[in-house]
Amino acid sequence: MNDIIKLLPDSIANQIAAGEVVQRPASVVKELLENAIDAQAKHIQLIVKDAGRTSIQVIDDGIGMTETDARMCFERHATSKIRQANDLFAIRTMGFRGEAMASIAAVAQVELRTRQAQAEIGTMIRIEASELKAQEPVSTPVGTHILVKNLFFNVPARRNFLRSNAVEMRHILDEFQHVALAHPEISFTMYQNDLETYNLPSGKLSQRIVNLFGKSYRDQLISCQEGTDYVTITGYIGKPEFSKKTRGEQFFFVNKRFIKHNYLHHAIMTAYEGLLPDESYPFYTLFIEIDPAHIDINVHPTKTEIKFDDERAIYAVVQSTIRKALGMHHLSPTLDFDQSTSFMFSTPATETKNGNSQSSSTNLFSTPPKTSGSTHSSPEKQNANFITIESDLRRQNNQKNWSVLYKDFQEAFPKEQVKQEEPEQIVLTLESKVNRLPGDTISSSSERLENEGLAYQMHNSYIVSQVSNGMMLIDQRAAHERILYEKFLNTLSKRNGTSQQLLFPKVVELSLPDFELVMEITDEIKHLGFEIGILGRNTVAIQGIPADIPDGQEKEVLEGLIEQFKWHQSELNLGRRENIARSLAKRSAIKHGHRLTGIEMQNLITQLFASSNPNYAPDGTPTLIILTLDKIGSFFTK
pLDDT at 373 over 60: no
Q: How high does pLDDT run on average in the chain? A: 79
Question: Hey, what CATH topology would domain 10-200 get?
Answer: Heat Shock Protein 90 (3.30.565)
78 or 400: whose pLDDT is higher? 78
Q: What's the rounded mean pLDDT across residues 346-352?
A: 41
Residue 85: predicted pLDDT: 62
Per residue in 606-616, pLDDT tens? 999 999 999 99
Query: What CATH number does the domain located at 413-638 have?
Result: 3.30.1540.20
Please answer whether residues 103 and 74 qualify as being in contact, where contact means their C-beta atoms are separated by less than 8 angstroms. no
Per residue in 227-276, pLDDT tens? 889 999 999 999 998 888 778 789 999 999 999 889 999 999 999 988 88
**Mean pLDDT lowest for which of 230-244, 334-348, 443-457?**
334-348
- Strands in 162-311 per DSSP E: 187-192, 195-200, 221-227, 231-238, 250-254, 257-259, 284-290, 295-296, 307-308
Q: Report the run of H or E that residue 541 belongs to, with start and end.
A: strand 539-546
pLDDT at 78 over 80: no
Q: Collapsing DSSP states into helix, strand and coil, what is residue 169?
A: helix
Per residue in 198-219, pLDDT tens? 999 999 999 999 999 888 888 8
Question: In angstroms, rounded to a whole number, what is the distance separating the alpha carbons of residues 71 and 125?
Answer: 7
pTM above 0.85, yes or no: no
Q: Any idea where the domains of the chain sit in the sequence?
A: 10-200, 205-328, 367-405, 413-638
423 or 171: whose pLDDT is higher? 171
Query: What CATH number does the domain located at 205-328 have?
Result: 3.30.230.10
- Triad 180, 510, 219: Cα angle to 5°: 75
Per residue in 509-562, pLDDT tens? 888 888 888 888 888 888 888 889 888 778 899 998 887 777 777 888 888 888
**Mean pLDDT lowest for which of 137-141, 161-165, 232-236, 370-374?**
370-374
pLDDT at 29 over 90: yes
Per residue in 384-427, pLDDT tens? 454 445 555 555 555 555 454 445 444 544 544 444 444 433 33
Type of residue found at 252: F
Question: In angstroms, rounded to a whole number, what is the distance separating the alpha carbons of residues 261 and 147?
Answer: 33
